[in-house]
Amino acid sequence: MNLPNKITVFRILMIPFFVACMLIKEIPYHEIIAGVIFIIAALSDLVDGKIARRFNLVTNFGKFMDPLADKLLVQSALLCFVANGLLPAWIAIVIMSREFIISGFRLVAADKGIVIAAGYLGKLKTVFQMVMSVMLIFHFSHPVWLATEQIFIWGSLILTIVSLIDYFIKNKDVLKETK
């Protein structure tokens, strides 16, 4: 297993520790620890991708597991935010549903031998979700922080919907039946 894949596996292994720190209030400094774990996991995504591309270490395992690790991290965070009363469940459901829809769409495309790269809006959505997550983990009660949190929550939601629509428009031919 090469270094980028090890980093991806490490990111996945960090998720239960992140969730525990988010949900078990008795852990001293649980929010700080959860925030550090989340930030390290999010940044490791950048690192493993850069290493894989720079040193030509791209593998099928990495192509599959890297985006899965990102989805697991963000979706775990969303569930924790709902459990802690920081995010309405319906917003988490919309964001999570988009990921399931896109994953299914990619499976259909792969079955047809088509590889669909992530688009700009999808990448921007991910950045917004990561920043939103960090803000909700620390969740300071300062008015500016709370207002900025709301901007990132609504920005994440809007980008989730817009990037889904954009994804379908750009790849509508994948859904056409061939005879």
pLDDT at 177 over 70: no
- Position 64 confidence tier, pLDDT thresholds 50, 70, 90: confident
Q: Return the domain boundaries, the chain.
A: 3-175
Average pLDDT score over residue span 30-57: 94
**Structure tokens belonging to residue 97:** 């549903």
- Could you tell me the two tokens for 141? 């009660």
Q: What is the pLDDT of residue 118?
A: 74
Contact 103, 46 (CB under 8 A): no
- How high is the pLDDT of residue 86? 97
* 5-14, 116-125, 158-167: least confident range: 116-125
Kindly report the average pLDDT of the chain as a whole number: 92
Q: What pLDDT score does 63 carry?
A: 81
120 compared with 84, residue with greater pLDDT: 84
The pLDDT score that the predictor gives to residue 179 is 54
| Distance of alpha carbon 37 from alpha carbon 20, whole angstroms | 11
d(CA 154, CA 159): 8
Extract the tokens encoding 41. Answer: 């996991």
What are the backbone angles phi and psi of residue 140, rounded to the nearest 5°?
-70, 150
Amino acid found at 83: A
CATH topology of domain 3-175: Four Helix Bundle (Hemerythrin (Met), subunit A) (1.20.120)
Q: What is the CA radius of gyration of the chain?
A: 17
Give SS3 for 55: coil
The answer on pLDDT for 123 being more than 90 is no
Contact 87, 136 (CB under 8 A): yes
Both tokens of 147, joined, read: 């207002």
* pLDDT of amino acid 119: 82
- Whether 109 has a pLDDT exceeding 90, the answer reads no
Does 4 score more than 80 pLDDT? Answer: yes
